[in-house]
A and B are shown apart, each in its own frame.
Chain A
Amino acid sequence: MSYVDAGYSIALGILFIYAVALVLRRRRWERALRVIERVEPAGGSEVANRSEVAERIEPARHIERAAPAEEQAAPGARS
Chain B
Amino acid sequence: MNSIGTVSRPRWLTVVGILGVVCMGFTVWLGLWVTPPDAVQGNLARLLYIHPPIATVALYWAGGVALAGSLFYLWPRTRSFFWDRLAASSVEVGAVFSALTCITGSIWGRPAWGVWWAWDARLTSTALLFLLELGYLALRRVPADPAVRARRCAVAALLIALDVPIVHFSVDWWQTLHQTGTVLDPGFHLHVHGSMAWTFLLGFIAFSLVFVWLLGVRYRIEVLQDRVGDQEMEVSLAERWSEGSDGSELVGVGPSGHHVPEGGAP
Once A6-B107, A22-B214, A57-B241 are accepted as A-B contacts, the answer to whether A37 and B100 lie under 8 Å apart by CB is: no
Contacts of B4 in A (CB 8 A): 30, 33-34
B28 at the A/B interface (Cβ < 8 Å)?
Answer: yes
Once A41-B235, A57-B241, A60-B237 are accepted as A-B contacts, the answer to whether A78 and B264 lie under 8 Å apart by CB is: yes
Once A11-B100, A37-B231 are accepted as A-B contacts, the answer to whether A56 and B241 lie under 8 Å apart by CB is: yes
Contacts of A37 in B (CB 8 A): 5, 231
Once A3-B108, A56-B241 are accepted as A-B contacts, the answer to whether A50 and B231 lie under 8 Å apart by CB is: yes
B251 at the A/B interface (Cβ < 8 Å)?
Answer: yes
A39 to B242, CA, bound (A): 13
Interface string of A1-15 (1 = CB under 8 A from B): 011101110111011
Contacts of B231 in A (CB 8 A): 33, 36-37, 50, 53
Contacts of A67 in B (CB 8 A): 250-251
**Interface-forming stretch among B127-135, B160-168, B221-229?**
B221-229
A60 to B236, CA, bound (A): 11
Interface string of B160-187 (1 = CB under 8 A from A): 0000000000000000000000000000
A2 to B213, CA, bound (A): 30
Once A3-B110, A12-B24 are accepted as A-B contacts, the answer to whether A44 and B224 lie under 8 Å apart by CB is: no
Once A4-B47, A6-B107, A26-B221 are accepted as A-B contacts, the answer to whether A78 and B263 lie under 8 Å apart by CB is: yes
Once A8-B28, A57-B238 are accepted as A-B contacts, the answer to whether A15 and B44 lie under 8 Å apart by CB is: no
Once A4-B44, A7-B50, A14-B96 are accepted as A-B contacts, the answer to whether A33 and B107 lie under 8 Å apart by CB is: no
A42 to B236, CA, bound (A): 10
Contacts of A2 in B (CB 8 A): 43
Nearest CB of B to A28, in Å: 9
A interface bracket (residues with beta carbon within 8 Å of B):
35 or more
Q: Is the CB of B50 within 8 A of A11?
A: yes
Nearest CB of B to A13, in Å: 10
Interface string of B212-223 (1 = CB under 8 A from A): 011001101100
Q: Can you pick out 13 interface pairs between chain A and chain B where the beta carbons lie within 8 Å of each other? A: A4-B43, A7-B50, A10-B103, A15-B96, A15-B210, A26-B220, A29-B225, A33-B4, A36-B228, A36-B231, A36-B232, A39-B235, A44-B242
Task: Give 7 nearest A-B pairs by CB, closest first.
Answer: A60-B241, A44-B242, A29-B224, A41-B239, A56-B238, A41-B242, A7-B107
B residues adjacent to A (C-beta < 8 A)? 4-5, 7, 24, 28, 31-32, 43-44, 46-47, 50-51, 54, 96, 99-100, 103-104, 107-108, 110-111, 210, 213-214, 217-218, 220-221, 224-225, 227-228, 231-232, 234-235, 237-245, 250-251, 263-264
